[in-house]
Amino acid sequence: MAFLSDTLARVKPSATIAVTNKARELAAAGKDVIGLGAGEPDFDTPEHIRDAAKRAIDAGKTRYTAVDGIPELKAAICAKFLRENGLTYTPQQVTVGTGGKQILFNALIATLNKGDEVIIPAPYWVSYPDMVQLAGGTPVEVVAGLENNFRITPEQLEAAITPKTKWFIFNSPSNPTGAGYSRAELKALTDVLMRHPHVWVMSDDMYEHLVFDDFEFTTPAQIEPGLYDRTLTCNGVSKAYAMTGWRIGYAAGPVALIKAMANIQSNSTSNTCSVSQWAALEALSGKQDFLADWRRVFQGRRDLVVSMLNKATGITCPKPEGAFYVYPDISGCIGKATPAGVVITNDEVFATALLEEAGVAVVFGAAFGLSPNFRVSYATSDEVLREACARIQRFCASLV
Ligand code: GLU
């Protein structure tokens, strides 16, 4: 349509959102669909956090706030970075936005010029390349497959850096694979970055609290203090505290960048929801004991899903270190036909057939830059997961 902008040609609709919406529509139409598409915890936001929001409403905390966050929340974010990551930031180095998405968006719009390159390890969270392109930059994908446990090597990072590289986006544990970089693996990457002072680091730490077994979460500015002045450490309350709908993301980094991000935000949404900010303050500074319980629940679900998916014909499902996703490989299903006669030529066809013929919604791998795979979000009950995985097993067994 001639009316639409050239910018639109550079971006696809978010596949995670599209699958979630489709599953919701089918369920609303009375179809028996299990949604494993949305990356969102099934837990309710804890009561003490909800209560803080109610108190904020009753206290009239319902007006505009400072664009990039109320001082109380910024102080709590500084305390969180110190307590959990050993990182010292002042409130001037902190910004709060409408979910992790707006934070990343602000940072990219505020820094990218045409032709600037952004290194993105693949598989990547679906929106990174589109956001880079919307901001006028060029995404540079560095692929780490199953054989590398979905982790890029220092050699790959070194080879991807050019004089045009502006950012390296790092996400551990990862959406969509759940892969987490160990301290030593991350140090090997930060050593490379230390040799390239023009490259900035955007660390998306959204899954920090969702780590399993004895995996230790670390973040680049903590592992390599020499990167502190060129790292934007991004996080949010959505996944850790089951607060997806409240839309609170935050980041800390150099003051000039943080100011530039607030400038962008002041011209788009202004502050994120005032009530949500008071709820996030309680999330970050209130009790944290339930996080360990939730971790145990998620770990049990991971084990269940990994074990059941590995029993499905044609599927190989690695066991991730964190997040609430698995990213099984479906090479063994490609070329086969479904009972309805659909030939599975790629992972998008597989995901569509799985939804239509078996009633399970997953996100196809091509959306995350590595095929043939699909992403399962296992943030739902054991009972639902068992049924969904049994359906996937039956679907795979039915392929000929
Ligand atoms: N980050 C979540 C996901 O990957 C939420 C949807 C989105 O914003 O992409 O499913």
Quick: pLDDT tens for 14-71. 998 988 888 889 889 999 999 999 889 999 999 999 999 999 999 999 999 999 999 9
Verify that 264 and 237 share a domain, yes or no: yes
CA 195–ligand 1 middle distance (angstroms) = 33
pLDDT of residue 38: 87
Domain count, the chain: 2
Which residue owns the Cα nearest ligand 1 atom 5? 39
- Within-domain flag for 55: no
Verify that 72 and 20 share a domain, yes or no: no
Calculate helix-pair angle for 274-285, 71-85, nearest 10 degrees: 30
What number is the average pLDDT over the span 305-313?
98
Rounded to two decimals, the pTM is 0.96
The preferred substitution site among 22, 40, 247, 380 for testing ligand 1, maximizing ligand atoms within 8 Å of CB, is 40
CA 374–ligand 1 middle distance (angstroms) = 14
Verify that 89 and 196 share a domain, yes or no: yes
Give CA angle at 16 (13, 20), nearest 5°: 105
pLDDT of residue 280: 98
CA 20–ligand 1 middle distance (angstroms) = 9
CA 14–ligand 1 middle distance (angstroms) = 8
191 band by pLDDT with thresholds 50, 70 and 90: very high
- Within-domain flag for 163: yes
- Model confidence at 1: pLDDT above 80: no
Q: Which residue has the higher pLDDT, 8 or 243?
A: 243
Verify that 138 and 255 share a domain, yes or no: yes
Q: Which residue do the tokens 């739902």 mark? A: 380
pLDDT of residue 203: 98
- Domain closes at, from 243, 261, 285: 285
Verify that 161 and 239 share a domain, yes or no: yes
Verify that 145 and 80 share a domain, yes or no: yes
- Within-domain flag for 147: yes
- Model confidence at 85: pLDDT above 90: yes
- Domain closes at, from 263, 285, 307: 285
Most confident stretch, 9-18, 21-30, 284-293: 284-293
CA distance 329 to 371: 8
The preferred substitution site among 12, 14, 16, 104 for testing ligand 1, maximizing ligand atoms within 8 Å of CB, is 16
Which protein residues are within 6 Å of ligand 1, measured from CB?
14, 16-17, 38-39, 101, 125-127, 175
Verify that 116 and 209 share a domain, yes or no: yes
- Token pair of 311, please? 């029993």
350 band by pLDDT with thresholds 50, 70 and 90: very high
- Model confidence at 278: pLDDT above 90: yes
Beta strands in the chain (DSSP E): 34-35, 94-97, 117-122, 138-143, 165-170, 200-204, 231-236, 249-252, 325-326, 360-361, 363-364, 374-377
- Within-domain flag for 53: no
What number is the average pLDDT over the span 249-264?
98
What number is the average pLDDT over the span 280-291?
98
- Within-domain flag for 77: yes
13 band by pLDDT with thresholds 50, 70 and 90: confident
- Domain closes at, from 285, 319, 354: 285
Task: Dump the DSSP string for 208-233.
Answer: TT-B-TT-----HHHH-GGGGGGEEE
Domain hosting 391: range is 6-44+290-398
Verify that 128 and 114 share a domain, yes or no: yes
Q: Which residue do the tokens 């560095």 mark? A: 142
Verify that 295 and 280 share a domain, yes or no: no
Over the stretch 116-147, which tens digit does the pLDDT of each residue have? 999 999 999 999 999 999 999 999 999 999 99
In order of 193, 235, 284, the CA distances from 205 in angstroms are 18, 5, 15
Verify that 86 and 174 share a domain, yes or no: yes
CA 16–ligand 1 middle distance (angstroms) = 6
pLDDT of residue 148: 93
Mean pLDDT of the chain: 97
- Within-domain flag for 57: no
Cα 5 versus chain centre, distance: 28
CA distance 65 to 67: 6
7 band by pLDDT with thresholds 50, 70 and 90: confident
Q: Which residue do the tokens 């929340």 mark? A: 73
Indicate which atom in ligand 1 lies nearest the CA of residue 127: 9
CA 232–ligand 1 middle distance (angstroms) = 20
- Within-domain flag for 265: yes
- Within-domain flag for 309: yes
pLDDT of residue 342: 96
Q: Which residue do the tokens 């788009």 mark? A: 268
- Model confidence at 11: pLDDT above 90: no
Verify that 119 and 224 share a domain, yes or no: yes
> Max Cα separation, the chain?
63
Please name the amino acid found at residue 11. Answer: V
pLDDT of residue 175: 98
Q: Which residue has the higher pLDDT, 20 or 365?
A: 365
Verify that 254 and 272 share a domain, yes or no: yes
> In 3-state terms, what secondary structure has residue 260?
helix
Residue 199 dihedral angles phi and psi, to the nearest 5°: -95, 125
